[in-house]
Amino acid sequence: MKKPRSKGLVSIVMPAYNTGKYIAASINSVFAQSYTDWELIIVDDCSTDNTREVISSFQDPRIKYFCNNSHSGAALSRNYALREAKGKWVAFLDSDDLWVPEKLERQIKFMLKNNYAFTFTDYRVCWYGKWEDYIHTGPLVITKKILYEYGYFFTSTVIYERKKIGLIQIQDLKRRNDYAMWFHVIEKHLCYRMPECLSFYIKHEGSVSSVSKWELTKWYYKMYRRELKKGRILAALCTINNLAHGPVKKLYYREKVADYKGYNIDLNDEN
């Protein structure tokens, strides 16, 4: 199969912390990409398991490995990786998530065709080894107002054009740091949905998302206060507004796998 011509280097940002059980699969999903002009920037947040050894088993100059001086969290690890990024494009892949092999190729082609600088794809979720029977979608266009209502996409679906967006750096937020990052990106460009399921969100014991709703609610409030500089009352109202729109996503922005009209891949493949 003929490899697609390069449309510019892709810098893939991957923070990692104690994901030795999963990171090999994530890295392999990068190696499986039909689009091969990429650099994988892994920032190890002082893992205490075998994460570093697993990464070291991959011998490829396109992998750029860095390690924090101390355990710093995903926000500062992504900041580090973004400072190191050299590509025309910035893509995000968490160290326990997966991509479809054509993800980079198809999404970049979509962006170039439509002159978009900030996009996300549809995705499917695996909960502790069990795949959901529906695909998560979202609004076709995400404005700042819509982003305040809810985070309709997740990190590993996103690509943006680096020079058009600039260097994004956020504060040390232990949760909701990716959501905070999108508020800075959307100041530069609207975000557009690519209606194809090209990414897979893998949830397991120890995932950042594996915390109580109350705990996540507190971090939404902290994000509005600390990163977006909202006053207490406005931050509380933004948090309530966000919680109110959660059911909207479940009602309107997911499709049964059997009914999905997006990219025709085997969505029942559980590998």
pTM: predicted TM-score of the whole model, two decimal places: 0.92
Measure the CA–CA gap between 56 and 96, rounded to whole angstroms: 17
- State the pairing for strand pair 191-203/118-127: parallel
Between helices 177-185 and 74-84, what is the axis angle to 10°? 40
Between helices 213-222 and 232-252, what is the axis angle to 10°? 130
* CA dihedral sign, ordered 262, 266, 269, 271: negative
- For the CA atoms of 254, 122, 26, 167, the dihedral, rounded to the nearest 10 degrees, stands at -130
Distance of CA 268 to the CA centre of its chain: 22
Single-letter amino acid code for the residue at 268:
N
Predicted confidence pLDDT, tens digits, the chain (271 residues): 567 888 999 999 999 999 999 999 999 999 999 999 999 999 999 999 999 999 999 999 999 999 999 999 999 999 999 999 999 999 999 999 999 999 999 999 999 999 999 999 999 999 888 999 999 999 999 999 999 999 999 999 999 999 999 999 999 988 889 999 999 999 999 999 999 999 999 987 765 555 567 777 888 899 999 899 999 999 999 999 999 998 988 889 999 998 898 875 654 554 4
Measure the CA–CA gap between 207 and 148, rounded to whole angstroms: 24
